[in-house]
Amino acid sequence: MTSKISSAVLPAAAPHTADRDRGTRIALILLGLGVAVAAPFLLYPVFVMKVLCFALFACAFNLLIGFAGLLSFGHAAFFGGAAYVTAHAAKVWGLEPALSILLGTASAALMGLVFGALAIRRQGIYFAMITLALSQMVFFLALQLPFTGGEDGIQGVPRGRLFGLFDLNQPLVMYYFVLAVFLAGFALIWRTVHSPFGQVLKAIRENEPRAVSLGYRTERYKLLAFVLSASLAGLAGGTKALVFQLASLTDVTWQMSGEVVLMTLLGGMGTLLGPVVGAGFVVALGNYLAATSLPVPVVIGAIFVVCVLLFRRGIVGEIAHHLRRRST
């Protein structure tokens, strides 16, 4: 139909900006890696590991809400559920730590498949309510099943030796292991967002009927996104169980599902770094407030209200927006 193909694919200005973007991105990545490697020498390692686990959890959640437009209010089920499975595998079955975490992740993936299959046909608030209801069922199971230890949870989970070689009881070894898990999870999310699948996902988020009219069976794409997100949340939960040597009811409560929503919104929904910043902020704030007499939920709630009213794009979202506006 068309006689010739234009050689000018992009407007003239684009390659220049792309180059500069790339330079900034590489600089940012190096800076982030430097900070991550140096962090255990500057801060309490367990604190940084906690931040990394929650950051991965929030990134997993963000993959679903930020790139597929689905608000899950039951992600604690995957996070906490995987923590129980990992803790049980490491403590009772005496499995190697990486394998224990892998089992936890697989159980979260399976739960994600079931939850997703049931919830994905509904939209908006109904979708959120179904995920909430299902995660409350997981909470109830965690309270009642014999292997979970009821109110006590599973305590004294051994960290073990990674691949039988590295002793994870050494704080620094454990830290770099957690960092490696986080980076692997983050890299997978980055790849997913920038993949052929990620493109379809964004199209569905932007305009689902149009994606259908182009021949995409959108439920299947949403289900895959849901399973990926659940698996990564499980990876975070399983890792956390080894860090704290504990799997407890706290991790499967609906409050935990709420906390991850908060972290993501505060940091910047739909940005890759936002959930990391949000998780760091919320965890740090919790630690700081624990030493004071201020009630944590009230302070966090107030910050959330301010965030929604004043900077809706979240911390990273606002910064990115201003940088973009200045560059054009």
Count the residues in the chain: 328
Which region, judged by CB under 8 A, interacts with another protein, from 51-59, 196-204, 278-286, 311-319? 196-204
Using CB under 8 A as the binding rule, whether residue 228 contacts another protein is answered as yes
Residue 201 beta carbon to another protein: minimum distance, rounded to whole angstroms: 9
Using CB under 8 A as the binding rule, whether residue 328 contacts another protein is answered as no
Nearest CA among 174, 184, 165, 173 for reference residue 241: 174
Using CB under 8 A as the binding rule, whether residue 220 contacts another protein is answered as yes
CB 174 within 8 Å of CB 243? yes
Using CB under 8 A as the binding rule, whether residue 224 contacts another protein is answered as yes
- If phi over 0 gives left and psi between -120 and 50 gives alpha, with beta otherwise, what is residue 145? beta
Using CB under 8 A as the binding rule, whether residue 105 contacts another protein is answered as no
Q: Which is nearer to another protein, 62 or 135 (CB)?
A: 62
Q: Which is nearer to another protein, 15 or 150 (CB)?
A: 15
Return d(Cα 66, Cα 272) in angstroms, integer: 9
Q: Which is nearer to another protein, 70 or 256 (CB)?
A: 70
- Determine the residue type at 54: F
Contacts 24+ apart (CB under 8 A), 161-166: 161/96, 161/97, 162/96, 162/97, 162/98, 163/96, 163/98, 164/96
Using CB under 8 A as the binding rule, whether residue 195 contacts another protein is answered as yes
Using CB under 8 A as the binding rule, whether residue 327 contacts another protein is answered as no
CB 63 within 8 Å of CB 226? no
Which region, judged by CB under 8 A, interacts with another protein, from 9-17, 49-57, 82-90, 244-252? 9-17
Q: Which is nearer to another protein, 118 or 187 (CB)?
A: 187
Residue 287 beta carbon to another protein: minimum distance, rounded to whole angstroms: 35
Residue 271 beta carbon to another protein: minimum distance, rounded to whole angstroms: 13
Return d(Cα 139, Cα 25) in angstroms, integer: 41
Residue 319 beta carbon to another protein: minimum distance, rounded to whole angstroms: 18
Q: Which is nearer to another protein, 49 or 225 (CB)?
A: 225
Question: Taking the CB of residue 132, how many other CB atoms lie within 10 A of it?
Answer: 18
Return d(Cα 71, Cα 126) in angstroms, integer: 10
CB 135 within 8 Å of CB 77? yes
Residues forming the site for another protein (CB under 8 A):
1-2, 5-6, 8-11, 14, 188, 191-192, 194-200, 202-203, 206-207, 209-218, 220-221, 224, 228
